Amino acid sequence: MKKILLLCLFFVTMLTARADDGYRLWLRYELVSNPQLLANYRNAITSIYFAGTSAAIIAAKDELQMGLEGLLGRKYVLQNNLSSNQLVIGTPKSSPVVAGLSLNAQLAKAGDEGFVIVNSKKDQKNIIAIVGNTDIGVLHGVFHFLRLLQTQQNIQSLSITSAPKIKYRLLNHWDNLNRTVERGYAGYSIWNWHTLPGYIDQRYIDYARANASIGINGAVVTNVNANATILTKEYLEKVAALANVFRPYGIKIYLTARFSAPIEIGKLKTADPLNAAVKQWWKDKIDEIYKYVPDFGGFLIKANSEGQPGPQDYKRSHADGANMFAEALAPHGGIVMWRSFVYSNESPEDRLKQAYAEFKPLDSKFKNNVAIQVKNGPLDFQPREPFSPLFGAMPKTPLFMEYQLTQEYLGFSTHLVFMAPLFKEVLNADTYQKGKGSTVAKVLDGSLDGLTLSGMAGVSNIGNDINWTGHLFGQANWYTLGRLSWNYELSSAQIANEWIRQTFGNTRQLVDTVDKIMLSSREAMVNYMTPLGLHHIMGYGHHYGPAPWFDKASRADWNPVYFHKADSVGIGFDRTEKGTNYLSQYAPEVKKVYENIDTCPEEYLLWFHHVPWNHKMKSGRNLWDEMCYRYYAGVDSVRLMQKQWNSLEKLVDKQRFNQVKMLLAVQEKEAVWWRNSCLLYFQTFSKMPIPAGYEKPDQTLEYYKNLNFPFAPGNGR
């Protein structure tokens, strides 16, 4: 008996030691917990028929066998003959069995990357078919089928045809060659350039698996503040090794190009894009890249922004610069993604107006393999921004969306902020470019203007932390990017539900509670950081924490005081005709709503208007009291999130439960810091008291002003 007890204790200890560290992301493949559903799945899937031998098909086979073994508790051996209750997987080209299923109409809608999943009959045998036009389509179908099982969906009457709405679905890594990550909060870069190409870390493969599972098909692996060294022979060999890992998963590799590379590594005296020698240098370099990486995707380029070199150094336009790269990439099928994030300290204009002013006149001037990559808002990845006016202003030029997954302005990886509502807010915004219904999403997918290039990118929040993203819930934002770029019609609630069920399990209480936490988290963060349209009042440089008082930066538009304009009269940036007239960059229908202080949505009020402190809000409160209400509501929301999470202690493994619990405590403390410091500072202008009934700040404004963070993360170069 003693031995049995010791043995039981051993197994209990082993199970406890196997606490979930988050590494598996949403691909956990845990045994289906519902006994009846497990039995149904097992009855519906008794064997697997797989056609094809490509690297993508092998990846799909391995994933399916691993997933089914984990989910259904059985090992499945591949069979060469058709049988009842079988998964039949392949393309019409690779298998006569698949070709005989008469799925041509569905496959015509699936395209090159999509898939069809149906319950069908073949030779009087019940089967589930997972079919694509290509092997990559099959791989995507396999991942989707495993998602259905993980989220415990009915597989008795499947009729799914799925194709991506966006062609280029990318992660942009701001990773440097020394493994630091600019604005990264999850450790060092996962790319170990020192050990490549000889050593292939398993993490590279798991990264590719995770991306393929949500439909991401491209990775820009280097920082937009580019280093020309990546274009040297030694590093191209390393890039090729990564590309070889990605290829079976349908993921192309992209690089950032430093505009001055012809000078720095080519020993030319100029980088003028119209210079013949410069053009030839880039043509030769790009030809060399394709010898190493035959399916190289192309370049992402940041030029003439924040000190980066670019065509304007030679009095050339952005179109001149982009087209030089485009001409060299075109024979290989590569594309140029030229970032529109440009602003100049020399310009007296409202910083928000500068991208439009530079790019709008260039509409139609770019080659057909050039896309302009535009941040979701006109400023810089703030907790809330209106959509960039470039969406709807360049109908002859493909525009790619750029989101930021890494939470540079959203509390870093210590704050739980589910970003799907932010992404959807922008996608659903109406540009009125061609009348009502001209949404940003329709601009992006090209349908509004008949354009064929479409793209959506997210600045990666991935590092070498064991759980990839620092905060466990940061994984949900990576997941969201993939799912929305595949299908932007998915709702925030749908995406949250999928992620929760795959990441934590399908227990009703758990799913419902985490769903409430996630769907409320973004609005909570806006309230305790930048309510009512406030923006860019974060700490200087590192952007950690509040510093609305800061005014010592080397350029005006790096100072928070530049953006909030608080004075004795009121607060907010006047961007109407009486102010900077930034609103003139939007369609008249959009401008009309925002320019009137009474019709402007209150979430953007201080973005577009300088508003008196005693202005009456929709709630009946004056502006000052409304600001206080929002800041306190934000903190209260975080405290509610803490209570909700604590209620799940018995439903979440100890390791992940404790990690999130501790980070929520950090978030609550920092939310209070945001609330107190901002209100104490803005109170010096409003001269109004914090309303009775609210807990009073426990520190003085001077205390908050004197806080210093010389080693705040995210500034790696």
Q: Tell me the pLDDT tens digit for each residue of 289-337.
A: 999 999 999 999 999 999 999 999 999 999 999 999 999 999 999 999 9
* Nearest partner of 406 among 313, 296, 543, judged by Cα: 543
Residue 80 is predicted with a pLDDT of 87
Q: Would you say residue 402 has pLDDT above 90?
A: yes
* Cα–Cα distance, 472 to 469 (Å, whole number): 7
Query: How much of the chain, in percent, has pLDDT values that exceed 90?
Result: 94
Q: b/e map of 271-301 (b: 16 or more CB within 10 Å)?
A: bbbebeebbebbbebbeebeebbeebbbbbb
* Cα–Cα distance, 525 to 504 (Å, whole number): 23
Name residue 338's beta-bridge partners. 301, 372
Structure tokens belonging to residue 409 = 């302005």
Domain ranges in the chain are 20-162, 168-503, 527-573+610-705
Structure tokens belonging to residue 537 = 């009042």
- Of the pLDDT bands very low, low, confident and very high (cuts 50, 70, 90), residue 343 is confident
* Cα–Cα distance, 379 to 580 (Å, whole number): 15
Residue 16 is predicted with a pLDDT of 38
Contact 420, 480 (CB under 8 A): yes
Residue 345 is predicted with a pLDDT of 65
Residue 136 is predicted with a pLDDT of 98
Q: Would you say residue 346 has pLDDT above 80?
A: no
* 3-class SS of residue 90: strand
What CA–CA distances, in Å, run from 98 to 105, 249, 463, 660?
Answer: 14, 22, 41, 46
Give me the amino acid identity at 256. T
Q: Would you say residue 13 has pLDDT above 60?
A: no
Q: Would you say residue 717 has pLDDT above 70?
A: no
Q: Would you say residue 631 has pLDDT above 70?
A: yes
Give me the amino acid identity at 649. E
Give the β-pairing of 115-122 and 125-131.
antiparallel
What mean pLDDT value characterizes the chain? Answer: 96
Question: How much is the average pLDDT of 380-404?
Answer: 98
* Cα–Cα distance, 273 to 287 (Å, whole number): 17
* Cα–Cα distance, 319 to 327 (Å, whole number): 12
Residue 348 is predicted with a pLDDT of 78
* Nearest partner of 249 among 279, 293, 204, 198, judged by Cα: 204
Question: How much is the average pLDDT of 377-390?
Answer: 98
Query: How much of the chain, in percent, has pLDDT values that exceed 70?
Result: 97
Handedness of CA 580, 530, 522, 712 (dihedral sign): positive
Give 3-state DSSP helix, strand, coil % of the chain, rounded to 5.
45, 10, 45
* Cα–Cα distance, 571 to 149 (Å, whole number): 52
Thinking of the domain 20-162, which architecture would CATH place it in?
A: 2-Layer Sandwich (3.30)
Give me the amino acid identity at 513. T
Burial of 450 (0-12, 13-18, 19+ CB in 10 A): exposed
- Provide CATH code, domain 168-503: 3.20.20.80
What CA–CA distances, in Å, run from 567 to 572, 599, 681?
Answer: 9, 23, 11
- Residues serving a catalytic function are 306, 380, 408
Class of domain 527-573+610-705: alpha beta
Residue 581 is predicted with a pLDDT of 97
Instruction: Please state the three-class secondary structure of 124-176 as a single string.
Output: CEEEEEEECCCHHHHHHHHHHHHHHHHCCCCCCCCEEEECCCCCEEEEECCEC
- Residue by residue, DSSP assigns 651-704 as TS-HHHHHHHHHHHHHHHHHHHHHHHHHHHHHHHHH--PPPTTSPPPSS-HHHH
Q: Would you say residue 9 has pLDDT above 60?
A: no
* Cα–Cα distance, 333 to 336 (Å, whole number): 10
What are φ and ψ of residue 672, in 5° steps? -65, -40
* Cα–Cα distance, 664 to 687 (Å, whole number): 33
pTM of this prediction?
0.96
Taking the CA atoms of residue 566, residue 567, residue 570 and residue 575 in that order, the dihedral angle to the nearest 10 degrees is -60
Q: What's the pLDDT tens digit per position in 138-192? A: 999 999 999 999 999 999 999 999 999 999 999 999 999 999 999 999 999 999 9
* Cα–Cα distance, 531 to 525 (Å, whole number): 9
Q: Would you say residue 18 has pLDDT above 50?
A: no
Give me the amino acid identity at 1. M
Question: How much is the average pLDDT of 248-273?
Answer: 98
Look at the block and give the residue holding tokens 């700040």.
697
Structure letter (DSSP) for residue 433: B
Look at the block and give the residue holding tokens 């535009």.
374
Structure tokens belonging to residue 446 = 């090209």
Q: What's the pLDDT tens digit per position in 641-662? A: 999 999 999 999 999 999 999 9
Dump strand ranges (E) for 438-511.
455-459
- Of the pLDDT bands very low, low, confident and very high (cuts 50, 70, 90), residue 11 is very low
Q: Which helix (H) or strand (E) holds 566?
A: none
Residue 716 is predicted with a pLDDT of 52
Handedness of CA 603, 609, 614, 620 (dihedral sign): negative
